[in-house]
Every structure is written in C-alpha cells, then in structure tokens.
Amino acid sequence: MSRYKGIIFDLDGTLLDTIEDIGDSMNEVLERFNLPTHSYEEYKKKVGGGFRRLVLKNFPKETDEETINNAVDILFKVYDRRYLNKTRPYNGINDLLDSLVEKDIKLAVNSNKKDEYTKNLIDKFFKRIPFVKVYGEREDVDHKPDPTTALEIAESMGLKLDEILFIGDSNVDIMTAKNAHMDSVGVLWGFRNREELEKYGANYIVSNWKEIVDIVE
C-alpha cells in the first residue's frame, strides 16, 4: 500500500504554465505607469505571492499606497482579459492526473492566484478530474506559505497529514508543506530552480511527471 493517499497541487508553474499571460498583463500595467517592463524569465522569479506582491516587486520602493492599490486593480482587470490566452498545462500533466485518479489518489489545488481565476482555469483544462477541493486566494484566509488552506483540504480528504504530498515549483510551496507537516515535492519544470527547492528542504525534487507516480507507488 502506498504511504501517500492524497496530493495537493500548486497551480501556476506546477499544473499550468501561466507565465506569459501574467507577464503580458503586468507589462501592460507597467507601460501605463511609464515604468520599465520585464521578460518572462524575469517574471518567473517574481511570481508566487499573489498580485499585490507582484505589483510591489515591480514598482519603485517609494511608490505611495494609493498608486499601488490602483495598479493592483488595473492588473486584475487586464489579467481578466488575458488569463486564458496563452496559459496551457505542462507536458504530461494530463497523463499524471489521469494516472493518479486511476490509483484513487485524492487530489486538490491550493494556489495563491485569485480564487475565481483558479477555479476557472481548473474548469477549463481539468474539468474531468474529480478534485476534492480547488482553492485560490480567498478573503480572510492568509495565503501560502500559511498552512490554513492545506489543512482545510486535508480535513476534506479525510487523510492524515503524513499521507498527503504537497507539490509545487517554489519555496512558497515547500514552506507551505513544512508548515502543514506534509511531505513536499518540488517540480523543476516550473518557475524556479533546483537550488531554491533544495535550499528550502523539498523532500523530493522531480524533473518528469512519471517520477511523481513513482513516489506515490
């Protein structure tokens, strides 16, 4: 019997390659404020903490609160228009999810992306997958690396914490797993590198989806 009976996935950089739509949206906002734009590669290092943090990372340190709030509002409106343009599942992700469903592994999503976008994207690309819960950023719930949502998902799965794997591509995901007392898998096809995943103490690091199936088995 496998030790792991449930998996919680991060979304951006783990299940879906969303960087181009996020980058295009953020660049459109920066252009409106006459600020320098950035490449997709640069955005891979900047994403992961929700949109407010993304704006803060791209605006000058001395920017006033009102301007930041305004930029965040604009970013949501722009992304709303763009977020289904270039976003796609990573190669092999559909095979991975189908394989895990076949093995009766309980699946869920815990993202720092706005809840509505998270649910819409899962609905668009993975409608057939019976996720136990799909959560994005919700009001009055701290985001990852706070473990609140992960623990809520564990309860919905009816599993012990050591029976659940938390899978993501960044330090935020590895820290979330630690805070929730779950084992973590860092994926190398996402937005961050092996060095970051090792530094934060991922239990497993994988470069191919089949390795996740092996870990579960």
pLDDT tens profile 86-116:
999 999 999 999 999 999 999 999 999 999 9
Q: Does the pLDDT value for residue 49 go beyond 90? A: no
Are 163 and 4 in contact by the 8 Å Cβ rule? The answer is: yes
Mean pLDDT of the chain: 96
Mean of pLDDT values over 188-213: 97
Cβ neighbours of residue 217 under 8 Å, at least 6 residues apart?
A: 2, 103
pLDDT (tens digit per residue) in 116-143: 999 999 999 999 999 999 999 999 999 9
Write out the two tokens for 104: 């009766």
Among candidate residues 138, 145, 104, 92, the one with its CA nearest the CA of residue 7: 104
Mean of pLDDT values over 3-27: 97
Cβ neighbours of residue 178 under 8 Å, at least 6 residues apart?
A: 145, 184, 200, 201
Structural domains in the chain plus CATH codes: 6-17+88-216 (3.40.50.1000), 19-82 (1.10.150)
| 7 vs 49, higher pLDDT | 7
